[in-house]
Amino acid sequence: MRALLVTAAGLAALAAAQPSAQVTYERIANSEREPQNWITYSGNYQSHRFSPLTEITRANVAKLKPAWVYQVRRTGIVETSPIVADGVMYITEPPSTVTALDAHTGRPLWTYTPAIPTDVIVIGSPPVNRGVAILGDTVFFGTVHGHLIALDAKSGAVRWDTVVDDNKLGHYLTNAPLALADRIIVGVSGAEAGIRGFLDAYDPKSGKRVWRTYTVPTPGEPGAQTWGGESWKNGGGSSWLTGSYDPALNLVYWGTGNPGPDWNGDVRPGDNLYTCSLLALSPVDGRIKWHFQFTPHDVHDWDSNEIPILFDATVNGRARKLVAMANRNAFYYVLDRETGEFLSGTPYAKQTWAEGLDAKGRPRLKPGTDPSLEGTLVFPNIQGASNWPSPSFSPATKLFYQPAREMGTYYYKGESKYKAGEPFVAGGGRAVNGDEAWGAVRAIEAATGKMKWEFKLLSPPWSGLLSTAGGLVFGGTEEGNFFALDAENGTPLWDLQLGGAVKANPIAFGVDGKEYIAIAAGYAIFVFGL
Amino acid sequence: MILPLVLALTVQSAPASGRAIQEGKKLFDGMCARCHGIDGTGDEGPALNRATLARAASDDALRDVIRDGIPERGMPRVRRLSDGELAQLVAYVRSLGRAGGPPARGDAERGRAVYARLGCASCHIVEGQGSSFGPDLTEIGIQRGAGYLKQSVIGPGETLPRGLSQVPGRGFAEYLPVQIVTSDGRTIRGVRINEDPFTIQLRDTNNQFHSYRKSELKQLEKEFGKSVMPGFRGRVTDTELDDLVAYLSTLRGVK
């Protein structure tokens, strides 16, 4: 293991050494060497959302207090996960604004808002944005009107503005792009409008598309036999959350979403590849090296876009390169990330739809769990046992920290006729919410799926988690609490009411040799330090 | 445990009557239910099974919201519908907010006297008059149907309100009785006002606010299935009950 513990003095030296350096691919690939920066969506390419900073610890976290607060310019749900590079924080504001802040004070340095048409089509989620990517001296982000835009990191000036796909058909972007050596990878939303999903790669300099890999095959391609009739044309399979990358294997890992329409699978008989799957792709040409489908022929809207976390461990006596995902369908999966081989799948939240998984990881379905005209009660609920809020993996504890959602839904089946740019969902649900639903932070042994501890939450959470080398796990609640737990046993050590629901992912960064934790809540970004 | 029963106790929606409402339901289930929930019970989007909609006071306003969407809140515009289909969808959404069930059959004037005799005003406000420990009943005739009201009078613990208030939040039981024991050994009974994983706020039976960190309490018991309101089962005649419900059904806002 690399030396992950960095002293405050060392941190200051690092900060001084790179005051205005460009954020190169090499820096991102070795992000643990500069823990004062948070230069890719999940902190590193392995998506650990783990900070090696050690100033804030179990012993002193009780003294944590606000350092600064930044209020966003217009109301909306703030789901941003900040990027911090060399003293500048880059955030996104709803729906598609990028703002650069002085990381010392929260004072804005520049802000950019594209012209979003008033008739923009956003079907399937609120009009949100989860963050930017940075590479060189350029910041990249997606918009609700379906553009990928590159901005000068110093001024916010537009370097290029590329239409990913037609918003009139329901394509829109909420995910932070993933910046690799010479590729900007970005996914798309829109399955609820009946798009045919894809994952794209763009040239960082020109904005020209290098490749597109559709997540739903056309007739004649592998997997096409898993779609009845012409259902593939509106088959969904969005790619709406940021994936992970293994530099050594040179593979990108990216989850795919639900098939369309969501709750009536009669019109799309078959497994509906590659929806609700994890894809391992070459960043060079976008070719799919392997795929693993978590929920074949999904009829509950259980996208598999959740963050895939990469780590290495010994499984059954053999050293393995692994990828793990706490899937929306309530199973925690461990796969071999070189081959896609299924190694284990364990429920991490209440589920009532599967007897279990077979030797290849395919669910053995319980009868009577499909949506129906009269409503079918199934756990997890429509938004799933997990969703976009990020899990965290600590190399120190080897635990996978998951914000788990305990909630059921009565699933109803309806009918939808496809019409371009309009809802294509065919049903819905009646949530079992309030006192009958709850949530938890769960610590799962990453290699085995065994639960080690949990910290209960009043409501199913929409906040991601951050773990740190200070032995802490940070998270938030729907009721507006931001809190720190002991990473070893889940004991609550600090909490503060922020006055608005936390629907974002925390990060850690450093300026002037001090460690800070940042989280969005309500209509603001909060930064805490000792 | 999660009880399907709970759903039956939430605000009931009117039974679909008429072809327009039935057709509207089909459109709703195909396009709207993902966010607003089947029967408009709310999910990612707000619940629509209420008498007044914040952004759609009139049918015309509701039509505009459907046609133009609320982009900043994530509600897409729907332009595919013909005027006739739009009218069906509006009719269905409106039907969700109507207090369902058969109309009250008692005498409202006599019911007003029953309300006074039972001392309901010691806990409820109607048109500004009364005490605030229990729910404000000024608009209860719009918000609740006769069947629900009757049940609330005879067995209030089985029908704790949900969705009447923005606090404590979507789907949580309102006026949930709680009993706590403080670190210094005092026992306080009241109703939950709000809660998060770390704290709880309540009003005691003297209508005084209290706030505690849960970690500092010796005991916190939530009394699901109970109410601090006395049940009147067996304490009023059937006629008095019908009259009281008839009176409550006439409460439709400040006149």
Tokens 């804030």, located at residue: A56
CATH number attached to the domain at A8-529: 2.140.10.10
Buried b (16+ CB within 10 A) or exposed e, A328-352: bbbbbbbbbbbebebbbbbbbbebe
Q: CB contact, 8 Å: A454 with chain B? A: no
- Nearest Cα neighbor of A386 from A407, A363, A405 is A405
Percentage of chain B modeled with pLDDT above 90: 50
Compare CB distances from B170 to A379, A433, A477 and report the shortest one's residue.
Answer: A433
Whether residue B99 is predicted with pLDDT greater than 60 in this model: the reply is no
Q: Positive or negative, the Cα torsion across B46, B51, B56, B61? A: positive
Superfamily covering domain B108-155+230-249: Cytochrome c-like domain (1.10.760.10)
Q: Tell me how far apart the alpha carbons of residues A40 and A62 are, in angstroms, rounded to a whole number.
A: 28
Contact B34 A262 (CB under 8 A): yes
* DSSP code per residue over A336-386: ETTT--EEEEEE-S---SEEEE-TTS-EEEPTT-S-BSS-EEESS-TT-SS
Q: CB contact, 8 Å: A161 with chain B? A: no
N-terminal to C-terminal alpha carbon distance within chain B: 43
Catalytic site positions of A: 301
pLDDT for B70 equals 80
Residue of A nearest to B40 (CA): A430
Chain B nearest-CA distance from A415, in A, is 5
* pLDDT range class, residue B100, cuts 50, 70, 90: low
* One fold for B13-97 and B108-155+230-249: yes
Q: Identify any residues that bridge with A253 across adjacent strands, giving them in sequence order.
A: A244, A280
pLDDT for B246 equals 94
Q: Tell me how far apart the alpha carbons of residues A393 and A304 are, in angstroms, rounded to a whole number.
A: 18
pLDDT for B144 equals 80
A194 residue type, one letter: G
Q: In this structure, what DSSP letter does residue A196 have?
A: B
Sheet holding B199-204, edge to edge: B209-213, B199-204, B187-195, B177-181, B219-222
Cβ–Cβ pairs < 8 A, chains A and B: 149
Main-chain phi, psi angles of B92, to 5 degrees:
-65, -45
Residue A71 Cα distances to A92, A355, A513, angstroms:
12, 47, 25
pLDDT for A239 equals 98
Residue A189 near residue A172, CB atoms below 8 Å: yes
Q: Residue B181: how many CB atoms within 10 A of its CB?
A: 14
pLDDT for B17 equals 54
Lowest mean pLDDT among B43-47, B49-53, B97-101, B121-125: B97-101
List chain B residues with CB under 8 Å of A475: none
> H/E element holding B211?
strand B209-213
Instruction: For Cα atoms A28, A34, A39, give the angle at the middle one, nearest 5 degrees.
Output: 40
pLDDT digits (tens, 9 = 90+) for B135-162: 999 988 877 888 889 999 999 998 888 7
Q: Tell me how far apart the alpha carbons of residues A432 and A410 are, in angstroms, rounded to a whole number.
A: 8
- Nearest Cα neighbor of A460 from A435, A425, A489, A493 is A435
Q: CB contact, 8 Å: A374 with chain B? A: no
pLDDT for B67 equals 87
A144 residue type, one letter: V
For chain A, give every domain's residue range: 8-529
Instruction: For Cα atoms A243, A245, A148, give the angle at the middle one, nearest 5 degrees.
Output: 50
Q: Find the Cα–Cα–Cα–Cα dihedral A72, A78, A81, A86, rounded to 10°.
A: 0
Q: Tell me how far apart the alpha carbons of residues A355 and A349 are, in angstroms, rounded to a whole number.
A: 14
Compare CB distances from A76 to B72, B195, B224 and report the shortest one's residue.
Answer: B72
Chain B nearest-CA distance from A92, in A, is 15
Buried b (16+ CB within 10 A) or exposed e, B22-60: ebbbebbbbbbbbbbbbbbbbbbbbbbbbbebeebeeee
Structure tokens at B144: 């609740």
Structure tokens at B189: 């009974």
Main-chain phi, psi angles of A154, to 5 degrees:
-85, -30
Tokens 């046609």, located at residue: B67
Q: Positive or negative, the Cα torsion across B135, B140, B145, B149? A: positive
Whether residue B45 is predicted with pLDDT greater than 80 in this model: the reply is no
Residue B71 near residue A120, CB atoms below 8 Å: yes
Strands A507-511 and A492-497: unpaired
Contact B74 A119 (CB under 8 A): no
The interaxial angle of helices B146-154 and B238-249, nearest 10 deg, is 130
Q: CB contact, 8 Å: A295 with chain B? A: no
CATH number attached to the domain at B13-97: 1.10.760.10
Contact A425 B34 (CB under 8 A): yes
> H/E element holding B150?
helix B146-154
Give the fold, CATH level 3, of B161-226.
Answer: SH3 type barrels. (2.30.30)
pLDDT for A21 equals 67
pLDDT for A3 equals 40
For chain B, give every domain's residue range: 13-97, 108-155+230-249, 161-226
List chain B residues with CB under 8 Å of A75: 72
> What stretches in chain A show pLDDT beneath 50?
1-19
Structure tokens at B235: 């304490």
Contact B72 A435 (CB under 8 A): no
Q: Positive or negative, the Cα torsion across A239, A419, A147, A116? A: negative
